Amino acid sequence: MTTIADNLQQIRGRIARACQAAGRDPSSVALLAVSKTFGPNAVAQAAAAGQRDFGENYIQEGADKIAALRAALPGVPLTWHCIGPIQSNKTRLVAAHFDWVHTVDRLKIAERLSAQRPEGLAPLQVCIQVNIDGGPTKSGVAPGEALALARAVAQLPRLVLRGLMAIPDHAPEFVAQCAIHTSARRLFDQIRDSGAPGLERFDTLSLGMTTDLEAAIHAGSTLVRVGTGIFGTR
């Protein structure tokens, strides 16, 4: 039976091959293991195989899992990313427990995260979620409004604006996948090169999942979010 460690090795191999094909250094692409709906034991197995960054979509589940893993793996430095939608009544949980947030899509949420981030913790690392292909049911700020939101978020205390995240609708072919991911890369470059204050660490393009990580890396993703490919079908 395939283990989580085996799956991680296969995904890392895919990332390395995709980077080679794109003429990129494999170290330029980070792997985020999406552990939503899987218990602390699965995360512990991935951590034992060297994985350190984990993504959670469901905030209460994620907060409980973070606490459980800190107790189970003292001294193992795991980094936790919130990659699910955030309602106003959940910002305090996110601010208190997570290290990264990928899904900031309106200023109100960013302001609450900033105000509620505990003083004793490092600043919260945040990405703006962009609805890059205009999907009617997708979260994310419209591309044309992303720069203004980035400028505003970058000025908030207790937050560090790190980049953009997008979850485009699935495209079955590599060329189509590359096209939509490339549009996200262009927007990322536009914001990074805008000269706006507070963008000194704007370096993260969170694109690509199990089925399209090769296209995302080809387009310039610096972080791929893989769940099924590591933990199996939910």
pLDDT tens for 106-148 read 999 999 999 999 999 999 999 999 999 887 778 899 999 999 9
- Number of domains the chain contains: 1
For residue 221, the model assigns a pLDDT of 98
Pull the structure tokens for residue 105: 């899509």
Residue 169 pLDDT level (bands cut at 50, 70, 90)? confident
| Secondary structure (3-state) at 92 | helix
**C-beta neighbour count of 147 within 10 angstroms:** 16
| Range(s) of the domain holding residue 35 | 4-20+29-231
**C-beta neighbour count of 192 within 10 angstroms:** 16
Q: In CATH, what number is assigned to the domain containing residue 8? A: 3.20.20.10
Question: 122 with 100: CB under 8 angstroms?
Answer: no
Answer positive or negative: Cα dihedral of 203, 207, 209, 212: negative
Q: How far apart are CA 123 and CA 191, in angstroms?
A: 21
Q: How far apart are CA 57 and CA 63, in angstroms?
A: 11
Q: Which residues are CB-neighbours of 6 under 8 A, at least 6 positions away?
A: none
Q: How far apart are CA 6 and CA 188, in angstroms?
A: 33
Residue 224 has pLDDT above 90, yes or no: yes
For residue 175, the model assigns a pLDDT of 94
For residue 131, the model assigns a pLDDT of 96
Work out the average pLDDT over 202-225: 97
For residue 14, the model assigns a pLDDT of 98
Per residue in 58-79, pLDDT (tens digit) is 999 999 999 999 999 999 999 9
> What percentage of the chain exceeds 90 in pLDDT?
93
Question: 229 with 7: CB under 8 angstroms?
Answer: yes
For residue 26, the model assigns a pLDDT of 96
Residue 172 pLDDT level (bands cut at 50, 70, 90)? confident
For residue 232, the model assigns a pLDDT of 93
Q: Quote the mean pLDDT of the chain.
A: 96
| Secondary structure (3-state) at 136 | coil
The pTM of the full predicted model, rounded to 2 decimals, is 0.96
Per residue in 35-51, pLDDT (tens digit) is 999 999 999 999 999 99
Residue type for position 182: T
**What does the buried/exposed string (b/e) look like for 200-209 if buried means 16 or more CB atoms within 10 Å of the residue's CB?**
eebebbbbbb
Q: How far apart are CA 42 and CA 38, in angstroms?
A: 6
Residue 1 pLDDT level (bands cut at 50, 70, 90)? low
